[in-house]
Every structure is written in structure tokens, then in C-alpha cells.
Amino acid sequence: MKTTREDYVRYYLDSAKKIGIPIEPLTQSIVKTAEAAWAVDSYKVEPSDEPAEKSPRRRIH
């Protein structure tokens, strides 16, 4: 279970290695993404935060 920033960074780098991505040149991007994921996962959005009605969408084709 990932909880700390270090857990996230380790998870993302390990995941990238597992799917054959060459880590070395891409470390900075992967680490920054891991940090973003850690922040995103830490912010809990409660069901009550989501309104029952969504604003209408319009598109002109």
C-alpha cells in the first residue's frame, strides 16, 4: 500500500521498469508524476462533494 512520497516514487519507477521502460533518461518525469499522484491520491473527494445535477454540456458541430 503506497502512503508516503517515497512509496509512490518507488512504485512508479518499479512499474516503469516492469513494462520495459528505460528509467535512466526519464527518471525526472516519472518521479514528478509519482509526486503528483501522491498529492492527488491524498486529496479525498467525498461523494457529498459531487452535486446530483451536472451543468449542461453544449457542443456546436
Reading the block at residue 43, the C-alpha cell is 486529496
Tell whether the torsion through CA atoms of 29, 33, 39 and 42 is positive or negative: negative
Question: CB-wise, 4 or 50, nearer to other proteins?
Answer: 50
| Rounded least distance, CB 27 to other proteins, Å | 9
Residues in contact with 37: Cβ distance below 8 Å, sequence separation at least 6, in sequence order: 8, 12
Give the three cell numbers for residue 37: 499522484
Residues that bind other proteins (CB under 8 A): 12, 15-16, 19, 21, 25-26, 28-30, 32-33, 35-37, 39-41, 43, 45, 49-51, 55, 57-61
In the complex with other proteins, the residue whose CB is nearer, 4 or 57, is 57
